[in-house]
Amino acid sequence: MTYLFYSVVCLLMVLVKTTLVPGQVIFETFYDLLIPFIVYLGLNRPGREGIPLALFFGFIMDSLSGGTPGLYVSIYFWIIVAMRALSRYLHAGNWIFTSLAIGLAVAFELLALLFYLAAANPDVGIPSDALRIVLIQIGWAMLTGPLLMYFISAVQRRIDALRREAAGAN
Amino acid sequence: MFSRKSAMIVGLIILVAANIIALSIISKKPYPSYGMGQIAITCVAPFQRLIVRSTRTMKDIWRHYFSLVSVARENDELRRKLQRARQESNRCREIRLANRRLRKLLALSQVVDDRSLAAEVVGKDPTPWFKTILVDKGRRHGVIKGMPVVSPDGVVGVIIEVAPGFSKVMLLTDPNSAVDALVQGSRARGIIKGGPEGMCLFKYVLRKHDIREGEIVVTSGMDGVFPKGLRVGKVASVVKEPAGIFQHVTVAPAVDFERLEEVLILPIARRQGDSLK
């Protein structure tokens, strides 16, 4: 049930990013919508559940984007590992902490992608407007990411309740 | 001998290093892809096609029926005619120049019209940093990796991943893209690479060539991928540094990638002489 929910959500987010958003003014300023999900999985779910899902998200993104295969898998893997480490020291339910965690994850993703771009094509380098895009994306992620996480959390609680009910019935 | 913490730090460093090395090795390939990627494309692309077609239908209904029906239709027709005329004009100019230089051996093969395949754009790259699109033709339709993709306006890109019913196209503006091209007037040759802000860089053009802004850049046919004479774009800026053997040329692509809806997949131009008829 949990895996199905996250797979469907992943598909929906990817469809929004690849069909509806491109060509719109917000495209460049809109962050990776899967990041709040990975942050949520890292902070709130067990590793055996979160890590395979993060790798699955990365695989989908790698397949649809023009980057080298394994790039998104690596990025998402390190984000979830970092979030799991952070969750040991900080309180995951705090709104400010959640916002910061999502901002950091988006910043890490963008920096990794820009580093890859610069390393793979030294003559082209980093786009001149990269800093502006990075800052806007981080800002948007910090503002709206916690809302997405709140939604995931609510659905996840419902799934857990259903699972408990089913276990109780058996 | 080592504490648990030290072992974890060393393990982490090794894992990071291994990750970076693996990515560097994979990215050295000209068209990096992996077989499993086709599965994801096959699963996601049908939904993308459904959404794109629904969106287009909605847009068309709005444009054609609720707002200035006849004007929109006339505009569509004129646009199509203009595209055809542009392509025709470009073709004629290429042929005239070739004849002037008495290149009688120009192989005017039936590359485009015989074996080309029309495809619809069903999805775009999920990030603004890479420039790829998904089209609704794949291995089932005879598409193979490395095939050139064009539109009536000019060069679009090259096929980099093929699934049974869909393919991924690396656009001309992607930083990893490289197309052998020449300036139509001066015949100065170089490599077109994706540059910043939707522009292309015309690399390795010798300083001795006199290139002016607004000149048309076409494919040279020397890369064994694109047929000769396809429109790439227009020279947007030329900078000659005081030193160095090359000049810095920026090219504005002929194709508007934001509005791209249909493309044509061509067979690979294996011979240098392959040219557009």
Higher pLDDT: A118 or B115? It is A118
Closest CA to A59 of A45, A49, A73: A73
Would you say residue B43 has pLDDT above 70? yes
Q: Is residue A76 part of a domain?
A: yes
- Residue range A8-49, pLDDT digits in tens: 888 888 888 787 776 666 656 778 888 998 998 888 888 888
Find the mean pLDDT for residues B252-262.
87
**Token digits for B102?**
């008495």
**Token digits for B182?**
């020449």
What is the pLDDT at residue B243? Answer: 78
What is the pLDDT at residue B192? Answer: 92
> Quick one: CA torsion of B22, B24, B26, B29, rounded to 10 degrees?
-160
What is the pLDDT at residue B235? Answer: 93
The DSSP code sequence of B167-187 is EEEEETTSTT-EEEEEETTT-
B132 contact residues in A (CB cutoff 8 A)? 64-66
- Residue range B191-201, pLDDT digits in tens: 998 887 788 99
Mean pLDDT of all residues in chain A?
83
Would you say residue B6 has pLDDT above 50? yes
What is the pLDDT at residue B273? Answer: 46
Interchain contact, B128 vs A116, CB within 8 Å: no
Q: Is residue A123 part of a domain?
A: yes
Q: Is residue A17 part of a domain?
A: no
**How close is the nearest chain B Cα to the Cα of A153, in Å?**
25
- Residue range A96-113, pLDDT digits in tens: 888 999 999 999 999 998
Poorest-pLDDT segment among A22-26, A45-49, B119-123, B224-228: A22-26
Nearest CA in chain B to A74: B19
Q: Is residue A65 part of a domain?
A: yes
Size of chain A in residues: 170
Amino acid at B79: R
Q: Is residue A21 part of a domain?
A: no
Domain, as residue range, for A83: 2-11+32-153
What is the pLDDT at residue A103? Answer: 93
Q: pLDDT > 70: what percent of chain A?
A: 91
**What sign does the dihedral B185-B187-B192-B196 (CA atoms) show?**
negative
Q: Is residue B276 very low, low, confident or very high in pLDDT (cuts 50, 70, 90)? A: very low
Domains of chain B in sequence order:
178-253 (2.40.10.350)
Residue of B124, B149, B170, B204 to mutate for A, most A C-beta atoms under 10 A = B124
Would you say residue B3 has pLDDT above 60? yes
Asked if A114 has any chain B CB less than 8 Å from its own CB, the reply is yes
Find the mean pLDDT for residues B121-150.
88
What is the pLDDT at residue B252? Answer: 93
**How close is the nearest chain A Cα to the Cα of B36, in Å?**
8
Q: Is residue A131 part of a domain?
A: yes
Poorest-pLDDT segment among A13-27, A42-56, B49-63, B242-256: A13-27
Would you say residue B268 has pLDDT above 60? yes
Q: Which of residues 202-241 of B touch A (CB under 8 A)?
A: 203
Asked if B44 has any chain A CB less than 8 Å from its own CB, the reply is yes
Global pTM value = 0.71
Residue of A10, A19, A62, A74 to mutate for B, most B C-beta atoms under 10 A = A19
Interchain contact, A128 vs B196, CB within 8 Å: yes
Instruction: Please tell me the distance from the alpha carbon of residue A80 to that of residue B135, in angstroms, as a whole number.
Output: 32
Q: Is residue B109 very low, low, confident or very high in pLDDT (cuts 50, 70, 90)? A: very low
Asked if B165 has any chain A CB less than 8 Å from its own CB, the reply is no
Asked if B247 has any chain A CB less than 8 Å from its own CB, the reply is no
Q: Is residue A82 part of a domain?
A: yes
B22 contact residues in A (CB cutoff 8 A)? 70
Burial of A155 (0-12, 13-18, 19+ CB in 10 A): middle
Interchain contact, B124 vs A22, CB within 8 Å: yes
Poorest-pLDDT segment among A29-43, B18-32, B157-171: B18-32
Poorest-pLDDT segment among A84-88, B27-31, B68-72: B27-31
Find the mean pLDDT for residues B137-159.
89
Q: Please count the structural domains in chain A.
A: 1
Q: pLDDT > 70: what percent of chain B?
A: 85
Q: Is residue B53 very low, low, confident or very high in pLDDT (cuts 50, 70, 90)? A: confident
Closest CB from B47, B52, B175 relative to A117: B175
Would you say residue B112 has pLDDT above 60? no
Mean pLDDT of all residues in chain B?
81
Phi and psi angles of residue B224, each rounded to the nearest 5 degrees, phi first: 70, 15
Q: Is residue A93 part of a domain?
A: yes
Nearest CA in chain A to B134: A64
Closest CB from A19, A114, A117 relative to B51: A19
Closest CB from B26, B34, B123 relative to A64: B123
Closest CA to A117 of A71, A161, A83, A80: A71
